[in-house]
Structure 1
């Protein structure tokens, strides 16, 4: 269930090599990286079933729809299996919901059937806005909604995940991401309705889990 993330701008080639080695060792679902590192990670993970997830218009979501679509399609060409795109928060806060809908749809159409997750940056939103953003993402053809970039005012909270799951229903993806650093954090998010976890503390989480199993 874990997207093993490395999204800091100062991360080096060795850091991404280690990220992929950790993903293979701990059998993470994917690695989640910026587009510049997609091809490198895809090569590192060749021959495994571990996917590469690319973030798009990260972390602010302020690129034009055309640029988002181009970034997403190039990431898929370079080996990404999934796209985590950032919603245009300014347009959403302006209640220009049609723009937000078309912005998401442009990325969905550009990647032709690949999984698209929409990062709504819930820390900036009211409860009603969280629900509205989820409804727009679902109607626009995305596969998941995602709590946060990890660069906003807050990471994932249990309450946000609860609201998001309630908004999208059972048969839609909810990814909890941002500030999930322990096994307890991850299990709370899963219990509340997340079916994917994004974290840069993935190794710590899994090693905690293994320790608990060993001590039973």
Structure 2
């Protein structure tokens, strides 16, 4: 299977224009990416641009800090779903995880899962801010709350996806959720290492470079 089928082609920049999102979607069509990942205000546009394709639209929620009220995350989720989002990537309540308030973390995720109306929810841990023990506990909370994936990073915080974290998260979920690696994935070699470590999806703005790297590697 081509690595393109694992990639969520991403543009979450605050300065992204409608034209940028149209280009993102056109590139996703051309290269056969699994999904595009956009901010919630662009879900409807992306859905229109990808009509008639199998490419999914992922919306981020509570992005990039994760520190807003749970009800605000739930409302953004409901709006994204109403606009056509196929999947939701929410940011963990990172400060609550650091404070070991795991009941809050669980309820925060659970409210988004319920608001997603059966759409898969991915929980962004922002692994660069967590200890390994916190990463494991966050994965467990996500699974208990009904999340479909755990995800490494926003790409806007400290650090990005690492083989160590993907493997750790894979063990922590123990088959009860999938893994999305994101943050700092710029080339095919690093993308392949993350997939081999257990990543099911890759979130990347460098999707084209990754696919071209695979083609070059195949030669």
Fold match (TM-score > 0.5): yes
Aligned to 1:194: 199
Give CA-to-partner distance per residue, 1:109-131, whole Å, 9 cap, x none.
Answer: 01111000000100011111111
Aligned to 2:40: 35
SS in 1 for 2:8: strand
User: Of residues 128, 132, 139 in structure 2, which corresponds to 1:127?
Assistant: 132
Give CA-to-partner distance per residue, 1:65-106, whole Å, 9 cap, x none.
Answer: 111011001101101100000001111111111011000000
SS in 1 for 2:64: coil
Tell me if 1:141 matches 2:178.
Answer: no
Quick check: 2:147–2:177 contact (8 Å CA) kept in 1?
Answer: no
User: Of residues 107, 110, 113 in structure 2, which corresponds to 1:108?
Assistant: 113
Q: Give runs of ≥4 in structure 1 deviating > 3 Å.
A: none
SS in 2 for 1:84: strand
Structure 1 residue 144: Cα displacement: 0.3
Aligned to 2:3: none
SS in 1 for 2:180: strand
Aligned to 2:60: 55
Distance 1:199 1:41 in 2: 17
Distance 1:27 1:109 in 2: 30
Aligned to 1:71: 76
Structure 1 residue 171: Cα displacement: 4.4
The verdict on how the C-alpha distance between 1:17 and 1:50 changes in structure 2, with shifts beyond 3 A counting, is same
Aligned to 1:96: 101
Tell me if 1:82 matches 2:87.
Answer: yes
SS in 2 for 1:154: coil
Structure 1 residue 181: Cα displacement: 0.5
Question: Structure 2: any 5+ residue segments left out of the alignment?
Answer: 1-5
Give CA-to-partner distance per residue, 1:3-62, whole Å, 9 cap, x none.
Answer: 100000011111111100000000000000000111011000011111100000000001
How many residues align? The count is: 214
Aligned to 1:2: 7
Give CA-to-partner distance per residue, 1:167-202, whole Å, 9 cap, x none.
Answer: 001342100000000001110000001111000000
Distance 2:135 2:105 in 1: 14
Task: Please report the RMSD computed on the Cα atoms of aligned residues, expressed in angstroms.
Answer: 0.8
Structure 1 residue 212: Cα displacement: 2.5
Quick check: 2:43–2:85 contact (8 Å CA) kept in 1?
Answer: yes
